[in-house]
């Protein structure tokens, strides 16, 4: 992968300051949302955004209700109908430059973690090893009644409502549907890593609307760590962070990586 020179719209003083903090850091946390995967041509959210922005569905119900845990239990055919639409819209997409640069930090910083709201699995596919998928992974399937689990590249071979080969119950994606709780593993792992603290925390492509997404930035800012927000729009954490980059994830991380390479080359 080629890492281009920094974009002209990004202040080199800011990217150099971020790079210096990363060079000196022993721990870095990346928090990512839909914005980082938008550059892979994935639809961003409002109801897996772009697909249901009008708020209209054939059933006349909000997409959040159709993609809920309650709907999966009561009428899995309807829930799966929209899951299939989303998966088909995302099929064939791949990790982009931003995911690959984040993965490069594994070999640069002693302790690097990624916390993502995305279910596309792109961080792992790009090479990141310590990834907390807060909302699960659309490539993983699990039975609603027994311990059966599987992994698929896409949903092309699945039926309209997949059935468990072990017990005959409905199979569903291993993702957090609307109205469902986050996994204990994700919550506990994030809590444990936050207790250890991070020297640098990035928030990339997320509105930071959920407390478990904004809290790591707030905690890091209180501890005096370097905090960076990469997002074209302002968010609730914008006033708290050390640096704001109002640009896309790929060009911002490319600029930071370029500055970091220069910093590492300087004794």
How many other CB atoms sit within 10 Å of the CB of residue 192?
Answer: 9
Dihedral angle over CA of 203, 206, 210, 214, nearest 10: 20
Structure tokens at 248: 């896309």
Beta bridge mates, 149: 142
**123 a catalytic residue:** no
CA distance 151 to 100: 22
Structure tokens at 166: 């072990």
Active-site pick, 84, 99, 123, 135? 135
* Residue (of 199, 200, 182) closest to 191 by Cα position: 182
Cβ atoms of 81 and 234 within 8 Å: the answer is: no
Cβ atoms of 12 and 6 within 8 Å: the answer is: yes
Active-site amino acid positions: 135
């Amino acid at each position: 992968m080629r890492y281009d020179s920094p974009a002209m719209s990004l202040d080199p003083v800011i990217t150099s300051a971020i790079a210096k903090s990363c060079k000196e850091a022993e721990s870095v946390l990346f928090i990512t949302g839909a914005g980082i995967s938008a550059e892979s041509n994935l639809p961003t959210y409002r109801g897996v955004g772009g697909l249901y922005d009008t708020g209209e569905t054939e059933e006349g119900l909000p997409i959040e209700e159709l993609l809920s845990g309650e709907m999966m239990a009561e009428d899995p055919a309807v829930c799966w109908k929209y899951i299939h639409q989303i998966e088909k819209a995302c099929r064939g997409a791949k990790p982009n430059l931003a995911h690959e640069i984040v993965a490069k930090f594994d070999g640069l910083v002693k302790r690097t973690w990624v916390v993502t709201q995305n279910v596309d699995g792109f961080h792992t596919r790009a090479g990141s090893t310590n990834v907390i998928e807060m909302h699960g992974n659309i490539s993983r399937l699990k039975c609603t009644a027994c311990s059966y689990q599987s992994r698929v590249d896409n949903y092309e071979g699945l039926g309209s409502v997949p059935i468990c080969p072990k017990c005959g119950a409905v199979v569903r994606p291993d993702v957090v549907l609307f109205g469902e709780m986050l996994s204990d593993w994700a919550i506990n792992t994030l809590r444990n890593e936050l207790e250890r603290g991070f020297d640098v925390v990035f928030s990339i492509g997320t509105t930071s609307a959920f407390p478990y997404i904004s809290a790591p930035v707030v905690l890091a800012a209180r501890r005096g760590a370097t905090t960076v927000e990469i997002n074209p729009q302002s968010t609730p954490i914008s006033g708290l962070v050390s640096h704001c980059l109002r640009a896309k994830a790929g060009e911002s991380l490319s600029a930071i990586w370029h500055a970091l390479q220069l910093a590492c080359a300087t004794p």
